[in-house]
Amino acid sequence: MKVTLERKHISSLSKRSFIFWLLLCATALGGCALPALDKRAQSQAFPPSKSTQTGIGQSVTLLAEHLNKATDKLSGIVTLEDPVDAFVARALLAEASELSIDLQYYIWREDIAGKLLLRTLIRAADRGVRVRLLLDDHGSSGMDKTLATLDAHRHIEVRLFNPYSVRSFKSIDYLTDFQRINRRMHNKSFTVDNQISIVGGRNVANEYFGADNGIQFTDLDVLAIGPIVDHVSKDFDRYWSSISAYPIEQLVEASNKEDLRSLGMELESTVLSTEAKPFISAIKASPLLNDLQNQVLEPVFAKVNLVSDDPAKIFGPTPENGLLVQQLDQLLGSPQRSLTLISPYFVPGDTGVQLFRDLEEKGVEIKVLTNSLEANDVALVHSGYAKYRRPLLEAGVQLYELRKFGAIEATPQTRKTASIGSSEASLHAKTFAVDSNTLFVGSFNFDPRSLSLNTELGFLIESPQLAMALETKFDEQIKQAAYEVVLNENKDLEWIEHNGAETRRYEEEPNTSFYQRAVIGLFSFLPIEPLL
């Protein structure tokens, strides 16, 4: 009888506990709707009439005049291939800012690179510079307290794009609002005084700037001056004022001045760390600002178009011509001679394969570089790509996969020892050249997620010089940095590794285990391609 009573008591407790947790979850799911935006502050980029009066603005004007370039028609482009140079450019421009800094990123981490750049933002704000920081909520996970503290500065405003409604247990949103929460802002831009912008593939974290002890990303940004910068600012304003951009103060408990002071002290101490020393030394040694001020910076001047998804893409259908791919199609048309494509996550789908096949039949030479399985930081995406290798090769596409230790070198004008951390490589650059005439650089991957789910941003640069530079580098370096994927005489896949004059052939994906290949094979049968 005692045992029976105890069991009934336990059963009763279990039912009550279940009901309690069920009610708690129902309350959480029903009571955590996103806040209204009717009281959100309004702001826009400062107009060129004001921004050209800053030190950076005057330097940009003098440089264009010195080079006899009409800045109302052409924009100046400097490629940032070296990861340390890419970090230094951001840090130096932030330190030189006088009016505004607008930043839009998918990922920002609180590692050495992230903290050093946060330090530059606080230092700029302390000088009275207006800082607007727009981050994707998924990519800045774990930073709520830091971001709320930054927002406590009277010259810094932080907004989160497409935020999770449940802050403490974000996974709940995947159960209750998957359609929305699965769509992310993948854009990346850094604009100072509405006079200089950096756009490209890099997020803000150690691995993007050569400071990680794990995999280093081979990536590409461009620094831009001229009329295209105002287009970047206007696009930033469009996202900043969209219905998906929520002030951090409406989502997270507010911080106070004491929290801000403590954060400032912590970030200042980061400068003294061993990990920060290479960055600090590179900043001190960089000639970038002096070259700009003394009109010796050497940008390539060209017609540049900004292509960008409408932020409404987060909710599905967009206005006509509201998608980046539609804008690319309108501006580019169809390649006539060549297409050289670099994409870390490459899932062309049947439609993409047919497109490449049609182009090849018209005589267009197509070369593609993506990550090998050993170098891919998202193995699941590789499963979506792997099944298209054979039809791509049968269509005539020249296919290459970056090796784990095969980072493509920076240009001869930059350091050969750019990486501060390890030398393992993973491709992250998103770029392509068309007909030796036009170059794209941005955040867009050739995959379903970039096409249909995430928002993206990039530049279409009409410059034979820059387009041919990418094609030349591809031809000169690719075989030593990547596996050449081919079909052998039996129509089976082979991977060719070129080491100088020596070659080695693999019948399975190089430097991978049977288990890795089996998992990829299993994933390739799952109906998940639209999510990759």
Hey, which residues are catalytic here? 186, 188, 193, 428, 430, 435
Amino acid letter, residue 385: Y
User: Token pair 């708690």 is at which residue?
Assistant: 24
d(CA 519, CA 444): 27
**The two three-digit tokens of residue 349, written as one number:** 């789908």
The full DSSP string for 49-84 is: HHHTTSHHHHHHHHHHHHTT--TTT-EEEEEE-SHH
H-helix or E-strand containing 338? Answer: strand 338-342
The full DSSP string for 432-466 is: EEETTTEEEEES--SSHIIIIISB-EEEEEE-HHH
d(CA 331, CA 218): 27
H-helix or E-strand containing 486? Answer: strand 482-487
Strands 482-487 and 493-499: antiparallel
d(CA 216, CA 461): 27
d(CA 193, CA 232): 12
d(CA 112, CA 491): 48
Dihedral over Cα of 406, 223, 321, 160: its sign: positive
**The two three-digit tokens of residue 241, written as one number:** 């004022």
User: Token pair 């029976």 is at which residue?
Assistant: 4
Question: Going by C-beta distance under 8 Å and a sequence separation of 6 or more, which residues neighbour residue 366?
Answer: 338, 339, 340, 341, 356, 359, 360, 396, 397, 398
Strands 216-218 and 425-427: parallel
